[in-house]
Amino acid sequence: MSHRVFITGLGVVSPIGICVEAYWDALLHRERPLRDARDTQPSHMALRRTHNVDDLPAASDSTTTGHVNEFALTAAKIALEDAGIADLSPFASRTGVAIGNAMGNDVLEARRFRGEDYQLEDRFAFDVAARLGNSLGARGPNLSVSTACSAGLYAIASATMLIRGGSIERMIVGGAEATSRVAMGCFNRLAAFDPVACRPFSADRKGTLMGEGAAVLLLESEAAAIARGSRVYGVIDGFGWSCDAHHATIPEPSASGAIAAAGAALRDSRIDASSIDAVLAHGTGTEQNDLVESRMLEEVFGSGAATLPVTAIKSKLGHSGGAAGAFQCLTAALMIRDGLVPPTSHGSNLDRRCRIELVRERPLAKNLRHVLMNSYAFGGNNISLIVGKEQRS
């Protein structure tokens, strides 16, 4: 019996596009100006520039359910439509949900800002996955993953395990996040925001910038995908995770945790490092994260790291916390579909300590068999995941 897990649907709500093709076109070819955070963010914060989602078609009332839920539901509906599932009810008992979210629902922050009463449950991270399952009628496992900024990839990996094990046929997976007053305040206090842009691996980078949105994918077992005649974007080849066990916010400087996660992903995928054709970097623009990821690439890929294409999509999306890894996975599927590596913005002045081949200025055309992506998070939570091109067995 095959235990392969196929990606059969994609849905996105992002600062650069509300549908998959608009998102992909912008990622490849366009820049978008930064904006100030929403008015729920206090004006006295030193840096308030963010990558916000604008002009979202109304999927729900964000004043009562929150932007996070609105993003997630809209992206999930797009993903199901993309997968050719107009009605989930025939598959409801065999379909689950796994969503990554770091900061919880944003309803509590908005209500407190307006001086309104709020309920304790307004802040819980599990609200996002729960509401999504209820709205779509998915009656399989319902998982809420909150491993900080690695949550999106952790959710996808967790769903992959369930499908591999045969306990479920398909999972609606991904991550959702809205710009958060708490996160904005924390990063301002940490002096971890860049006043210009998110500039991963750049010598003059000053930190990251917040982003928001949702990326949702439909994962199906090989048997379920074939039975539906599904179009397949790619295969979840494998994943590996680790914990630095070092510090609440600072990555372990030697990159031992990041190296362990990438090595485990390669072993789970049953491929060697030379089979990886491109890397979607965590690439936050913070000095320690960029240096640790560069060290990992040098250790895992050896001399091959100098020519391995690397891209960092946070340079256009900002750092969307629990949704960041899901954006990476969705992007990897599009990269494999079209044979293109999107360029990294603001990368003209590469930090010489980051000895990597950063894709800049224009998309790189390349036959992509396997794409590696990394997410590293507060708490030392690391995950690497590999998406590969489909080859029917």
| Residue-wise pLDDT tens digits, 277-324 | 999 999 999 999 999 999 999 999 999 999 999 999 999 999 999 999
Q: How far apart are CA 175 and CA 128, in angstroms?
A: 9
Q: Where are the domains of the chain?
A: 5-228, 237-388
Q: How far apart are CA 221 and CA 163, in angstroms?
A: 6
pLDDT tens sequence across 225-262: 999 999 999 999 999 999 999 998 889 999 999 999 99
User: With 50 as the cut, is the pLDDT of residue 60 above it?
Assistant: no
Contacts of 247 (CB under 8 A, 6+ apart): 380
Nearest Cα to Cα of residue 222 among 210, 213, 230, 214: 230
Q: What is the pTM of this model?
A: 0.93
CATH 3.10.450.50 is held by the domain 237-388: no
pLDDT at 91: 96
Average pLDDT over residues 33-48: 65
Cα distances from 122 to residues 65, 237, 339, in angstroms, run 9, 36, 42
Q: Which residue has the higher pLDDT, 96 or 192?
A: 96
pLDDT at 130: 92
pLDDT at 245: 93
Q: Which residue has the higher pLDDT, 65 or 123?
A: 65
Average pLDDT, the chain: 90
pLDDT at 348: 82
pLDDT tens sequence across 257-278: 999 999 999 999 999 999 999 9
Portion of the chain with pLDDT greater than 90, in percent: 73
CB distance 18 to 89 below 8 Å? no
pLDDT tens sequence across 111-154: 666 666 766 665 666 789 999 999 999 999 999 999 999 999 99
Name the pLDDT band for 52 (thresholds 50, 70, 90).
confident
| CATH class of this structure's domain 5-228 | alpha beta
pLDDT at 59: 46
- Tell me whether the CATH fold assigned to 5-228 matches the one assigned to 237-388: yes
Q: How far apart are CA 333 and CA 363, in angstroms?
A: 15
